[in-house]
Amino acid sequence: MAYSVREASERILAAIAPLPAIEVSLRDALGLVLAQDVVSPIEHPPWDNSSMDGYAVRAADVALATKDAPVVLPVLETVRAGQRPTRSVEGGTAIRVMTGAPVPDGADSVIRVEDTDGGETRVTIRDARDAGRNVRPRGEDLQPGAVAVAAGSVIGPAQLGVLASVGAATVKVHRRPRVAILASGDELVDLDRFDDVRRGDRIVTSNSYTIGASVIGAGGEAVDLGIVRDDPASYAERMAGARDCDVLITSGGVSVGAFDFTKDVLKSLGAELHLWRVLMRPGAPLGFGTLHGMPWLGLPGNPVSAMVTFELFARPAIRRLRGERQVFRKTLDVRLRDDVSIAAPLTHFMRVIVEWDNGTAWARLTGPQGSGLLTSMSRANALLVIPPDRTTLRAGETAHALPIGDGALSVMQLDL
């Protein structure tokens, strides 16, 4: 039985749950997913503070200040950021404050220095526009007990900064998934045997590179188990390396060839096969199962098929293991530059280059779409999705595209 792309995706993700939480130091938390809400123990900012370099005053005292009729006030003291005021602002006085410095009691406004003469003992205020402004109230950003960063958040630069602000020197995050990668095929070598490739006898295991990089891109740790020969004994030996991994991703040997052993070997090692074959192109002979509880994804060997199936099934699986909640990329509406036709009632994923022109995303094919043409993948920034019931699409029509990386969302000039 073959599964639709959606069914396959649902079956795979149904078998995958977030990894347990571990405690890591904040500096090691970048890119990981918070396993628990982090609650602020403090008020932030901890004091009413000035958002300007200027003069803390009472609004009523400066309300009538203009260039022609300025208000002159005595300056009681100067408060730098990191100092506390020793005086309060009484009616008809000012205290000079720097950005971030506490606003003294009695003041409800900070007049920016640009609207004054900058005086140190007496200040001339020439504009009333800041009356009642420029005081950032204490606790404006965070109250004690408020959730500073919620469970399920990916810890990026902003989250890291908030966590630091509330004193989270360590945080509970989901462990980074360890993803074992195994290539299969008698024809494959790694770069140390490129002479064999030059001689025309072998090809490089590019899947080990594309899948390894894709694992890292999805936020996992790649554990390269190397290459197995197309014979069952070779598999059993290498598979031992997957023992402390959270997922196994194989490539190749999962189709209907006489030497496609991956499924059978996994079964003989105790794997349960949950699905095989998806109604898609490229990538139809995808396998998925569990081996003693460890999910196994059997990607097809063809380099483009391996990458496309990784994108659709392995990436969301890794993101789910990481504890992410939004595991799928959002598709983009694109208009077609080319006529596109498909030969079989399967969901097709075609390599395209998406370019923005006057607010419209236009997609053009990278060229021939053979599943061995990895260079065409390297030029693409999205996969055009053609549903199984659309045999022909005309240039100018609209379709969905799944961005690869964030290339389809990038432009050359500041887009404001």
Applying CB under 5 A, which residues contact Mg ion?
A: 185, 252-253, 301
Which residue's C-beta sits nearest to ligand AMP? 301
Q: Are strands 332-336 and 398-403 parallel, antiparallel or unpaired?
A: antiparallel
Residue 413 tokens read as 């000039």
The sign one gets for the Cα dihedral 379, 304, 324, 249 is negative
- Minimum CB distance to Mg ion, residue 365 (Å): 27
Nearer to ligand AMP, 49 or 207 (CB): 207
**Segment (H or E) for 158:** helix 157-165
CB-CB contact of 362 with 395 (8 Å) = no
Which neighbouring-strand residues pair with 180?
223, 248
Out of ligand AMP, Mg ion, none, what residue 302 binds, judged by CB under 5 to 8 A for its kind, is: ligand AMP
Residue position matching structure tokens 């530059």: 337
- The DSSP letter of residue 314 is I
- Minimum CB distance to ligand AMP, residue 22 (Å): 32
Out of Mg ion, ligand AMP, none, what residue 294 binds, judged by CB under 5 to 8 A for its kind, is: none
Nearest by Cα to 286 from 310, 321, 270 = 310
Out of ligand AMP, Mg ion, none, what residue 130 binds, judged by CB under 5 to 8 A for its kind, is: none
- Minimum CB distance to ligand AMP, residue 270 (Å): 22
State how far Cα 243 lies from the chain centre. Answer: 28
Per CB under 6 A, residues contacting ligand AMP are 183, 185, 187-188, 203, 205-208, 251-253, 255, 257, 260, 300-303, 372
- Minimum CB distance to Mg ion, residue 184 (Å): 6
Out of ligand AMP, Mg ion, none, what residue 290 binds, judged by CB under 5 to 8 A for its kind, is: none
Out of ligand AMP, Mg ion, none, what residue 255 binds, judged by CB under 5 to 8 A for its kind, is: ligand AMP
Residue type, position 341, single letter: S
Nearer to ligand AMP, 104 or 212 (CB): 212
Out of Mg ion, ligand AMP, none, what residue 303 binds, judged by CB under 5 to 8 A for its kind, is: ligand AMP
Nearer to ligand AMP, 123 or 183 (CB): 183
- Burial zone of 237 (CB within 10 Å; 0-12 exposed, 13-18 middle, 19+ buried): exposed
